[in-house]
Amino acid sequence: MSATLRLPRRGSFGLRLLFLIILPGVALLSMPVAFGQQHVSTISLEPGETLVVDGIEVLPVQGKIYMLVGGGANVTVQIGEEGVVVVDTGAAGQSKRIITAIRRLTNKPIRTIVNTSADPDHVAGNAAFVEAAGGPRGPGTATPLGPNAGAEMISTEEAYNRMLNGGPGRPEMLGDALPRSTFFTPRKDIYSNGEGIALLFQPRAHTDGDLLVHFRGSDVVAAGDVFNTTSYPAIDTAQRGSINGVIAALNTLIEVTIPERNQMGGTRVIPGHGRISNEADLVDYRDMLTIIRDRIRDAVGKGMTLEQVKAARFSLEYDGLYGATTGPWTTDMFTEAIFREMTALRPAPPQRGATPQRGTTPQRGTTPQRGATR
């Protein structure tokens, strides 16, 4: 006698009971497939691990910070639950590769863009990054995705003006390539992904609009081009840069950084170009620039000409690390920039045989002011 499964009649209590038993089991069987199809929003790299995406090298720094190398100036990226903060957007024609590398790390939206200067290798990708973010965000703007969508771009007022007006080697920038948020105060603070970010204005350093970007929770500083491990600092005199301003900016960096021990470890510094550094690297760089500046200042005080200063090679022992004889920034150009600044700052010598002004006493010492007590 064969066994036959007799299904309950439609609408009966037994049919409803059978569905209640079967459907949860079907849902449980389908769960691994559904979970396997979910997109992982963010990946993390271990210290020392490197990811290369379309020629862009991605290096974990510490905390929430990554450094992207190979698309112009170094690009700094902070990734967290709220989205992505990007410091500098790379050189012309490199933005697609840089954005692709960021998308390999996370699919979180780009929320904030910070420009450390107006140099083309730092800002040429601005418009492409804003487009990738869904449009600009800031005062007087609205994106199709809503008021909280899009990216806010920040720079100093001076850097904004340089981008807007252009100059030698810097084409004019328009529209979404320009920051919507600018400032001229010594400091601007923002907060993103659970940590404070201090934007520190460094006047008349590499240019007149440089920023240091300090991620306080991650303990990382993006230094822009006031600090490079591959060359002498490019002192852009056309943008009112100065060696004294660069040294002052490096002193600010040294004040911000805290070493773990013996000036090593601790705060990490991302230079405009070159490798991840720490306070010891900053101190060596600052001291080197101070020595070279002082040598050239002394030579100017002795009346040496520019050609004599170049021939003296006051930077000789450092040229192997930072010097260049060709390219956009050579050792001679660096020397000349310091020479002209020191010449401009040199006090004018007193004129021989000058007649004292009327009412002055042509004798050594000073005459007590009226009413003063001897």
Query: Quick check: 52 pLDDT over 70?
Result: yes
Maximum C-alpha span of the chain: 139
Q: Domain for residue 42, yes or no?
A: no
286-300 pLDDT, tens digit each: 999 999 999 999 999
- Domain count for the chain, please give it: 1
Q: Domain for residue 310, yes or no?
A: yes
Counting residues of the chain whose pLDDT is more than 90, the rounded percentage is 72
309-346 pLDDT, tens digit each: 999 999 999 999 999 999 999 999 999 999 999 999 98
Q: Domain for residue 44, yes or no?
A: no
State the amino acid at position 237 in one-letter form: T
108-126 pLDDT, tens digit each: 999 999 999 999 999 999 9
Query: Quick check: 365 pLDDT over 80?
Result: no
338-363 pLDDT, tens digit each: 999 999 998 877 677 655 556 555 45
Q: Which residues contact 357 (CB under 8 A, 6 or more apart)?
A: none
What domain range includes position 104?
51-173+182-345
pLDDT (0 to 100) of residue 273: 98
Q: Domain for residue 84, yes or no?
A: yes
**159: CATH:** 3.60.15.10
Q: Which residues contact 168 (CB under 8 A, 6 or more apart)?
A: 238
Counting residues of the chain whose pLDDT is more than 70, the rounded percentage is 80
Q: Domain for residue 11, yes or no?
A: no
pLDDT (0 to 100) of residue 169: 80
Q: Which whole number is the average pLDDT over 269-295?
A: 97
141-192 pLDDT, tens digit each: 666 666 568 999 999 999 999 999 998 888 899 999 999 999 999 999 999 9
Q: Domain for residue 320, yes or no?
A: yes
Q: Mean pLDDT score of the chain, rounded to an integer?
A: 86
Q: Domain for residue 269, yes or no?
A: yes
Q: Domain for residue 4, yes or no?
A: no
What band does 263 get if pLDDT is binned at 50, 70 and 90?
confident
